[in-house]
């Protein structure tokens, strides 16, 4: 292929929320696109969030206190995008009730006013109304709360979701419309013509081979790794990323027996903490520390102690490190052009940058605003790149993602009637939505109802086969950690199913013994990075 020919309109580097969102928007607008991810899709930040779809309560307080229009706009955008995620992916995103316990009377009107303003800013995208809850009712719904000194609580609403599964739904939806999506495809170098980037040299980690791909435009959507790609394109360029790490710990559900979550408005160092129900467990997070960029960031002992210290202030039972089932660490892609603030003070705004060589980078932001970031990026491409306008407007505002296009209630009722497996169907629907029909079809045709995990998690062989065939699973942790999220919530449970997962994958993907041993050792090493 000569340098004057282009295989694609867009090459999108990065298979997290932003890159996947750009792929869907661009493809729907008629652009031939390919997504390249060096590891698995959403392996980094996009699978290690606090699992909330929200505007950002702490940003609102900063906006009001400091009359900060930038942070106010960020909150407003987040609340608008929250509504759209809940509407477009209801199988993996839902409204959640959050309670804020208050131990000083003066806090009650202050916090209530702030959360009521949060509702007002939502405007027509409001999903509920904040209210003051009595001490008695707060303890009834959350018996683990420390009762001594509790004055009242404020109840409000936000969104919750499964972040890794959201990314897969975006990619499947993009692929359905013609996008090419490839994980384990690392960009090694750029291809230039007259000092302009016209393509990439990639290494396929699965097939161990190099390829060269060409495109009219290259998009850097690699999150915390954005500076690495920028430096590859233009050596010695000034860095603009300032990542921070946030850890989460997982406890037994008994510590949060209700379906509601808790929001601790301010720790002694000014952080907001969340205690949330997640996949039958209790998720607590998060911290905010300056961090270096790592593919697999580790959970630090100091961060664990930080969370335990603050959580024990609000619980009536003492939680120790022995109570932690699992933990994980994610990196926030914070943008810091001025280098003037601590990472905890930086807002989650984003910027779009075009280098002289033609590389376009979309950096910063957060998962909740992935769709608007993607829309801005595609608009920018049409305005700043020599790509013919298709005339097709952005339609992702109301575009139902794969998994949420059929009546889930009817599908659930029919599948339960057909299989007599209520728990299994409920679990599958919560992960795969209407694609559960395909999993049950595989289970029936191939007699693959075999439990991988035992009854505790209802993971069957057909589910793994489905994710290998339709959800880009190539390694055991793709399934165990991201498609099914088990490694995030139960390290021991993940280890228990590893051998069965490996055995099924070996057969399905025709691995030899050496490949099997390599994949097992790699998975065990990754599991050990959890607590």
Chain segment 146-185, per-residue pLDDT in tens: 999 999 999 999 999 999 999 999 999 999 999 999 999 9
- Strand 93-102 relative to strand 261-264, pairing: parallel
For residue 479, what pLDDT is reported?
A: 98
Query: Tokens 């905890």 correspond to what residue?
Result: 344
Position 496 scores a pLDDT of: 95
CB 344 within 8 A of CB 57: no
| Residue-level pLDDT at 530 | 58
As a whole number, mean pLDDT of residues 8-14 equals: 98
| Helices (runs of H) and strands (runs of E) counted in the chain | 17, 18
What is the structure's pLDDT at 343?
A: 45
The upper half-sphere exposure of residue 99, i.e. CA atoms within 13 Å in the direction of its Cβ, equals 25
Q: Which of 104, 112, 101, 115 is nearest to 144 (CA)?
A: 101
For the segment 471-499, the average pLDDT, to the nearest whole number, is 96
- Candidates 276, 293, 387; CA nearest to 343 is 293
Check whether 498 has a pLDDT greater than 60: yes
Mean pLDDT for all residues in the chain: 93
Given pLDDT bands bounded at 50, 70 and 90, which one contains residue 61?
confident
Does the CA dihedral 466-467-470-475 come out positive or negative? Answer: negative
For the chain, list the domains and their CATH numbers.
8-45+164-239+344-398 (3.50.50.60), 71-160+242-335 (3.30.9.10), 408-528 (1.10.8.870)
When pLDDT is averaged across residues 310-328 and rounded to a whole number, the result is: 92
| Residue 4's pLDDT band (cuts 50, 70, 90) | very low
370-406 pLDDT, tens digit per residue, is 999 999 999 999 999 989 888 899 999 999 999 999 9
Peptide bond into 286 cis (omega under 30): yes
In angstroms, rounded to a whole number, what is the distance separating the alpha carbons of residues 477 and 485?
9
Quick check: 286 pLDDT over 90? Answer: no
- Output the CA torsion sign for 222, 303, 248, 154: negative
Is the separation of the CB atoms in 529 and 298 below 8 Å? yes
**Top-ranked range on mean pLDDT: pick from 197-201, 266-270, 451-455:** 197-201
Report the b/e string of 321-340 with b at 16+ CB within 10 A. eebbbbbbbbbbbbbbeeee
Res. 516 pLDDT band, cuts 50 70 90: very high
Per-residue pLDDT at 339: 53
How large is the average pLDDT for residues 467-488?
97
| pLDDT confidence tier of residue 338, bands split at 50, 70 and 90 | low
Which tens digits make up the pLDDT trace of 404-459?
Answer: 999 999 999 999 999 999 999 999 999 999 999 999 999 999 999 999 987 789 99
Residues 6+ apart with CB under 8 A from 341: none
Kindly state the tokens that stand for 262. Answer: 């808790």
Q: Are 309 and 269 in contact (CB under 8 A)?
A: no
Least-confidence region, from 126-130, 222-226, 306-310? 306-310
Provide the pLDDT for residue 340. 53
């Amino acid at each position: 292929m000569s340098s004057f020919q282009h295989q694609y309109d867009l090459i999108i580097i990065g298979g997290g929320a932003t890159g996947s969102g750009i792929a869907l928007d661009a493809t729907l607008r008629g652009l031939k696109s390919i997504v390249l991810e060096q590891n698995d899709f959403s392996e980094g930040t996009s699978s290690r969030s606090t699992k909330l779809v929200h505007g950002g309560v702490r940003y609102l307080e900063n906006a009001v206190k400091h009359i900060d229009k930038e942070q106010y706009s960020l909150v407003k955008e987040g609340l608008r995008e929250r509504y759209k995620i809940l509407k477009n992916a209801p199988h993996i995103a839902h409204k959640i009730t959050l309670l804020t316990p208050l131990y000083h009377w003066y806090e009650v009107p202050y916090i209530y006013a702030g959360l009521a303003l949060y509702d007002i800013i939502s405007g027509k995208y409001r999903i509920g109304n904040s209210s003051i809850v009595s001490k008695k009712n707060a303890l009834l719904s959350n018996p683990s709360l420390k009762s001594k000194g509790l004055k009242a609580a404020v109840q409000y609403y936000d969104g919750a979701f499964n972040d890794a599964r959201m990314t897969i739904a975006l990619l499947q939806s993009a692929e359905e419309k013609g996008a090419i999506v490839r994980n384990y495809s690392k960009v090694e170098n750029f291809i230039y013509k007259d000092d302009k980037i016209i393509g990439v040299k990639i290494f396929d980690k699965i097939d161990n081979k190099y390829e060269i791909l060409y495109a009219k435009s290259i998009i850097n959507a690699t999150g915390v790794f954005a500076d690495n790609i920028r430096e590859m394109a233009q050596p010695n360029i000034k860095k603009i990323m300032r990542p921070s790490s946030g850890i989460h710990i997982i406890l037994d559900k008994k510590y949060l027996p209700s379906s509601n979550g808790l929001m601790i408005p301010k720790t002694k160092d000014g952080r907001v903490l969340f205690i949330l129900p997640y996949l039958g467990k209790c998720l607590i997070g998060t911290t905010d520390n300056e961090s270096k960029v790592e593919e697999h960031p580790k959970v630090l002992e100091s961060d664990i102690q930080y969370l335990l210290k603050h959580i024990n202030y609000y619980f009536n039972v003492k939680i120790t490190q022995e109570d932690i089932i699992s933990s994980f660490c994610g990196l926030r892609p914070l943008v810091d052009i001025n280098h003037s603030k601590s990472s905890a003070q930086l807002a989650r705004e984003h910027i779009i940058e075009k280098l002289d060589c033609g590389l376009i980078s979309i950096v910063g932001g957060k998962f909740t605003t992935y769709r608007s970031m993607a829309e801005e990026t595609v608009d920018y491409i049409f305005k700043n790149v020599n790509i013919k306008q298709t005339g097709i407007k952005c339609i992702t505002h109301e575009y139902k993602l794969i998994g949420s296009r059929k009546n889930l209630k009817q599908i659930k009722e029919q599948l339960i009637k057909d299989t007599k497996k209520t728990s299994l169907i409920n679990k599958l629907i919560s992960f795969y939505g209407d694609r559960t029909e395909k999993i049950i079809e595989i289970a029936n045709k191939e007699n693959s109802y075999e439990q991988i995990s035992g009854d505790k998690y209802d993971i069957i062989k057909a589910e793994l086969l489905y994710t290998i065939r339709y959800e880009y699973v190539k390694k055991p942790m793709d399934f165990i950690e991201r498609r099914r999220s088990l490694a995030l919530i139960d390290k021991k449970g993940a280890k228990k199913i590893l051998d069965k997962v490996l055995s099924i994958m070996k057969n399905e993907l025709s691995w030899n013994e050496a490949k099997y041993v390599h994949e097992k050792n790699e998975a065990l090493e990754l599991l050990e990075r959890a607590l």
